[in-house]
Each structure stands twice: as structure tokens, then as C-alpha cells.
């Protein structure tokens, strides 16, 4: 695993976890950190997620750049409560109607962290679609980091050991 692949910040965190908690915890942290980089989510690289300024209101939008329809979950961290978000933490938006070139508004009028996480699957990939739907539900219920949720769901379903 190279620093370029996982990012310097992630590498520093993994190193600290290895030092404090030992090798088993470091390996677990590494698995969680790269969950959405796995080939299981076979269309993730096609989804472009960005924040836009809508007449003074910040929004998060996602665009499908794949040549095929995809299902995607786009997750974002809310930093402060607003009229749309009653608490801080992670939120996700699942949608299976991304056709080629479509742009969807994922979140509006919030105080968002710069970090976002997303995963996408070819719409015909039923196993993957079920996992990203489940990620959406779990994050909605717990406000936990979506990569940890995805890893736990795939492990529970027997897709990874």
C-alpha cells in the first residue's frame, strides 16, 4: 500500500493507530480507510461529487460520467445544525436513477465538511446496490462514517472476511 494511493493524512492516522493499538487494529483501520476504493463498487470512479454555490446557499451535487446507468450513495458530513439537518455527523443520499450525464442535488443549505465519501455500482449489480442502500440506512440511523458502515455491512453479508 503506497502513501500516494491512500493519502498522506490517512497514512499518518494508520501509523498512529498501529503505534497505539497494535498491528491488528492498524490492519482493521486500513481496511475501513479503503472500503470505497475496492472493486466491489464498480462504478465509483464515474461519479463526480462537488460543492456548488447556489445564490449564496451551498449545495452538494453528483454527476454520473459512466456510459451506463448507476446507483450511487453520496455521503457528506454536516458540521452544524440547520433547518434541514437536526444534528451534526454523517448523512448519505442514495439514488438509483443516475443515467449518463445526469446531475443530482444531494444536499442543500448546510454547513458541510470538505470531506465526502461516495460509492456507486452499475444499476444491474444487485448485490452492490443492496449494500449501498444498506449503507444509506445505517448512516441515517447512526451518523457514523460511511466507510465503516460499508465495511461492516459487506462483512456481515459475507462479501469479505
User: Structural domain boundaries of the chain?
Assistant: 3-33, 44-156
Residues 9-32, mean pLDDT to the nearest whole number: 45
SS3 sequence of 82-142: CCCCCCCEEEEEEEEEECCCCEEEEEECCEEEEEEEEEEEECCCHHHHHHHHHHHHHHHHH
The span from the CA of 161 to the CA of 147, in Å, is 16
- When pLDDT is averaged across residues 116-131 and rounded to a whole number, the result is 93
Strand residues in 33-101 grouped as ranges (E):
47-54, 57-64, 70-80, 89-98
Residues 6+ positions from 36 with CB-CB distance below 8 Å? 44, 117, 118, 119, 146, 147, 150
pLDDT value at position 27? 58
Predicted confidence (pLDDT) at residue 149 exceeds the cutoff of 60: yes
Q: Which residue has the higher pLDDT, 106 or 32?
A: 106
Question: For the residues 45-52, what does the mean pLDDT come to?
Answer: 94
Question: What's 44-156's CATH class?
Answer: mainly beta
Integer Cα distance of 147 and 36 in angstroms: 7
Arithmetic mean of pLDDT, 110-129: 92
Give the contacts of 78 (CB within 8 A, at least 6 positions apart). 85, 87, 88, 89, 90, 91, 110, 111, 112, 113
Strand order across the 70-80 sheet: 89-98, 70-80, 111-122
Q: Which residue has the higher pLDDT, 36 or 118?
A: 118
Residue 31 confidence class, pLDDT cut points 50, 70, 90: low
In the predicted model, what is the mean pLDDT of residues 125-153?
A: 94
What pLDDT score was predicted for residue 18?
A: 39
- The answer to whether residue 49 scores a pLDDT higher than 90 is yes
Helix axes 8-21, 23-33, angle to 10 degrees: 150
CA distance 76 to 21: 28
Q: How confident is the model at residue 2 (pLDDT cuts 50, 70, 90)?
A: very low
pLDDT higher than 80, residue 28: no
Which pTM value belongs to this model? 0.77
105: pLDDT strictly greater than 80: yes
In this prediction, residues 72-86 reach a mean pLDDT of: 93
Asked if residue 18 lies in contact with residue 25, where contact means CB atoms within 8 angstroms, the answer is: yes
Confidence band of 100 (pLDDT split at 50, 70, 90): very high
Amino acid at each position: 500500500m503506497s502513501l500516494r494511493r491512500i493519502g498522506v493524512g490517512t497514512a499518518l492516522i494508520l501509523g498512529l493507530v498501529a503505534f497505539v493499538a497494535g498491528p491488528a487494529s492498524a490492519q482493521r483501520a486500513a481496511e475501513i480507510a479503503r472500503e470505497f476504493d475496492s472493486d466491489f463498487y464498480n462504478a465509483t470512479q464515474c461519479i463526480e461529487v462537488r460543492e456548488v454555490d447556489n445564490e449564496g446557499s451551498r449545495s452538494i451535487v453528483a454527476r454520473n460520467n459512466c456510459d451506463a446507468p448507476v446507483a450511487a450513495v453520496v455521503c457528506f458530513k454536516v458540521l452544524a445544525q440547520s433547518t434541514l439537518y437536526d444534528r451534526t455527523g454523517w448523512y448519505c443520499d442514495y439514488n438509483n436513477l443516475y443515467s449518463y450525464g445526469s446531475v443530482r442535488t444531494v444536499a442543500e443549505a448546510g454547513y458541510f465538511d470538505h470531506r465526502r465519501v461516495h460509492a456507486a455500482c452499475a444499476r444491474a449489480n444487485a448485490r452492490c446496490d443492496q449494500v449501498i442502500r444498506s449503507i444509506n440506512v445505517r448512516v441515517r440511523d447512526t451518523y457514523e462514517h460511511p466507510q465503516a458502515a460499508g465495511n461492516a455491512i459487506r462483512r456481515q453479508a459475507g462479501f469479505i472476511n
